[in-house]
Amino acid sequence: MSGDHSSTAISERVRRVEALLEERGMVTRADIDGRIDEFLRGATPANGARIIARAWVDPAFKERLLNDANAAIQELGFTMSGGIQEQRLKVVANSEAEHNVVVCTLCSCYPIALLGPSPGWYKSEAYRSRVVREPRALLREFGLELPADTRISVWDASAESRYMVVPQRPPAAQRMSEAKLATLVTRKGLIGTAAL
């Protein structure tokens, strides 16, 4: 793949496009700021938590989520379009045998609408490289010690595709309501750097 994918280079390109749109009278700075504010207003990890809680209590929804996440999240009023072209969402589920973790090795692609703005460590070069090379050691540093026989799958997001993890439902949470279950789900759990 060619080109500079650093966050600085991407930011510079975005600023150039914004400037061109403004120069041509297609948008104003206020239009751009308003769209960003509107998008981020509803962007929170609570959205992803609602999706996971539903998957935990509704096996048919979980199956739809794993097979076609874009369609399944629409059932709860969410979308991956962000007002622009729709991104593909792939949802993967943790199990006793497999643990999933998400990264974007090129920059910091991430489902903001479902998880809120990405944490600083997700964007760091250290996380982006180490989670691929030594995922078990990196997860241990996050406080997640997995059994030696648990397979770790690393999912690499891109400009077109985003990923989200269905953490294993905590055994003590079997009798909780869907709303209460949603309060257990964390952003780290949705990325795969923590268990619940």
Residues marked active site are found at: 104, 107-109
**92: phi then psi, degrees, rounded to nearest 5:** -120, 145
Beta strand 98-103 with 161-166 is unpaired
Alpha carbon 15 to its chain centroid, in Å, reads 24
Q: How far apart are CA 66 and CA 75, in angstroms?
A: 14
How big, in percent rounded to 5, are the helix, strand and coil portions of the chain? 50, 10, 40
| Residue 89 burial class via C-beta count within 10 angstroms: exposed 0-12, middle 13-18, buried 19 and up | buried
Q: How far apart are CA 182 and CA 10, in angstroms?
A: 34
> Is residue 89 within a helix (H) or strand (E), and if so which, with residue range?
strand 88-93
* Alpha carbon distance, N-terminus to C-terminus of the chain: 36
